[in-house]
Structure 1
């Protein structure tokens, strides 16, 4: 089961978790907390909202601003933006001629199966190179103008090498601790899809089996006011 909860409720659940006797560990690369039983078996996962700090962080009275970028890349399509505390301050959509129309296959995948190709393919490859250069140029602008705390990305393994090996380098490497792979299927990247991904990242998510419902109930707590969380839902 998947239950999505608001930032405020997520904050309360995290506080309840830290003050309880639950055994848990924080997975930085997934920005989530894993609860285990006495035998060490994983029972429940709690993905934190992207703007919420990990457990054990000393949060000042006034919570610090969290700046992040979202980068969604598919063959020939990219939507990206810069956000501060969940608010989008800049965005850009890139499109490129990277897909062979008849086969519906990206030129990158085609080359891996068919080898060298002709003029049309060279055009597509040229546009692929420019596509990733444009992405990295915009990323460099974000990182030069702002302090970026997190990098939320969705990009297939096939395209990752083109991102990092571009003539215009990314302002981070593939091992940057700020990187966060978005745990959600992303449709063709456009502005609206990026905003939908942002709404997803701003919510907490409890992932568990039905047998763990009592643990979820305890974490949520009956004394928490849920009146402002009408948008919480299950999957």
Structure 2
């Protein structure tokens, strides 16, 4: 599969082009993307930027002038939570905890699943794990109390999800909240720098082209290039 950045200025034009070819699409709200389907096969996936939404009545992507959202990125022992007001980072915090067994490099949660009861050091790590998630959720709750939140971006491993949603301090939303979307990027170390890079990534559009969609994509790009050449020629003539 071919993966490229996609100029978000061309999104409406691309949707119109594919429609003219008789190719339908489905909107995936959890991944915030348009999935173009031909003969029951997904041939192109177009991820929408955060400053676009999908109008279910018109069945078209639309630009949004204002949006507040939180990005939550959690790994074993480190997490970052950022509140973005109108696409700009307004508040952020990085959380750290002693959750990893030094020799094995395995988180205490994974160790307990395989070994059962633990010793004093393990109990300390487990306690830090619980406090780690309590601190994260407390911070998220503060954002929800103070601001309107339109979207919730989450990156969290399946092992940690039960602790994220099942702690003493609950999340201000449940797993089925319609505002949730999965951050479509692998995040190894969720520092503030990574939080900033992820936001930049989410503000861009990305296209994934399967073999069955390659010719359609090439035809669209050929049309775009030809129109640009024509426009430049008209400008030269006016001059």
**TM band (smaller chain):** 0.7 to 0.9
Over alpha carbons, which structure has the higher Rg? 2
1:45 equivalent in alignment to 2:45? yes
CA distance in structure 2 between the aligned counterparts of 1:160 and 1:18, rounded to whole angstroms = 39
Following TM superposition, by how much is the alpha carbon of 1:14 offset from its aligned partner in structure 2, in angstroms? 4.4
Moved over 6 A (4+): none
Structure holding more helix per residue: 2
User: What SS does structure 2 have at the residue aligned with 1:53?
Assistant: strand
Change (3 A) 1:97 1:179: same
User: What SS does structure 2 have at the residue aligned with 1:29?
Assistant: coil
1:122-201 matches, cutoff 5 A: 122-201=123-202
Matched residue, 1:71:
72
CA distance in structure 1 between the aligned counterparts of 2:208 and 2:63, rounded to whole angstroms = 30
CA distance in structure 1 between the aligned counterparts of 2:19 and 2:142, rounded to whole angstroms = 38
Structure 1 unaligned blocks of 5 or more: 226-235
Matched residue, 1:103:
104
Following TM superposition, by how much is the alpha carbon of 1:79 offset from its aligned partner in structure 2, in angstroms? 1.1
Cα RMSD of the aligned pairs, angstroms, is 2.3
Structure 2 unaligned blocks of 5 or more: 230-239
CA distance in structure 2 between the aligned counterparts of 1:126 and 1:209, rounded to whole angstroms = 46
Matched residue, 1:215:
216
CA distance in structure 2 between the aligned counterparts of 1:114 and 1:149, rounded to whole angstroms = 41
Greater RCO (CA < 8 Å, at least 6 residues apart): 1
Change (3 A) 1:194 1:160: same
User: What SS does structure 2 have at the residue aligned with 1:163?
Assistant: helix
CA distance in structure 2 between the aligned counterparts of 1:62 and 1:31, rounded to whole angstroms = 13
User: What SS does structure 2 have at the residue aligned with 1:140?
Assistant: helix
Change (3 A) 1:50 1:35: same
When the two structures are aligned, how many residues end up with a matched partner?
Answer: 223
CA distance in structure 2 between the aligned counterparts of 1:17 and 1:209, rounded to whole angstroms = 15
Change (3 A) 1:115 1:134: same
Provide the TM-score with structure 1 as the length reference: 0.86
Provide the TM-score with structure 2 as the length reference: 0.85
Per-residue Cα deviation, 1:44-71 (whole angstroms, up to 9, x for no partner):
1111112211154669x98431111111
1:22-33 matches, cutoff 5 A: 22-33=23-34
